Amino acid sequence: MMALLFESLFDYGLFLAKTLTILAGLVLVIILLMRGRSGGERRERLEIIDLKDRYRTLTFAIKEFSLSKKAYKALLKEEGKREKAREKAGEEDRKRLFVIEFNGDIRASEVSALRVLVTALLMEARAGDAVLVRLNNAGGMVSEHGLAASQLARIRAKGIPLTVSVDKVAASGGYLMACVANRIIAAPFAVLGSIGVLAELPNFHRLLERHGVDFELHTAGEHKRTLTLFGENTDEGREKLREQLEETHRLFKTFVAENRPDLDLAQVATGEYWHGRRAVELGLVDEIQTSDDFLLAASEGMELLELKYRAHKKPIERLLASMSAAFDRALALWRR
């Protein structure tokens, strides 16, 4: 029975290899076809959305439906007067809350856009401005999420008040980003924490050996490769990988401690995660509040400007991005 299982797995592996080869060939053909058609510079733009205007539009839609025509006209007239007064007060007197949304994946692929947004924001920010980052990130690769956290650190280093709101999840690399903020708010059932590091991979050495397939790996450097997918792993390699994981964990804990010095790392840096209210008790979060309520309260005295960066991608780039996103989603589901 086990022999049949291994044979089935081996056959499936050959089928998968053929399929990937065909897909790679198709992608190469598409690249060659698109190369001649996609001349010109890459187009990009910064979008600025007036959230207060959006909220006002929604509110007036309800008022138009619920009020009499006379009352609604009077309301519009009064709103017009208030708008003129705001314009007369001058732009320089308006405090602004810049809103950035970051949806993370394993590769933190939105970090490129984040870098542009932070740079643009720092060039324009003035006294009285603040930043809200609406973060939804379950973590992933260390270097990519470390870079994303460094971008948020640029805001704090300039003395601009930075709030991170977590409506769903900020775990592992997501919390690495969140901890940079001056203040962290979270919804009651948001997931936070997971201050830990992991590495996992399958090993097909025994399967290949059973079918008479040799795998060779040549390296220069004692620890160039610790564990491998297809070769025979050693206890020495496993131990070295554990050392590397522990070192990364130490860096993670040090970074968190520098940004939230009152945290009891012995209690929270165990790799566990907690929901909003418990996260407040542990000091991972400062307050239970959704990003919507935060924005509603801020709208009383500030302009709300949501920033988005759009880069026009070539068809092949969109195809590869979609394939990468599908892979990330599959990997995330598998890890659950």
Question: Which candidate in 70, 77, 88, 224 is catalytic?
Answer: 224
Task: Specify whether 314 is catalytic.
Answer: no
> Is residue 224 flagged as an active site residue?
yes
Catalytic-role residue among 172, 194, 253, 291: 172
The structure tokens listed for 87 are: 């314009």
The catalytic residues are: 172, 224
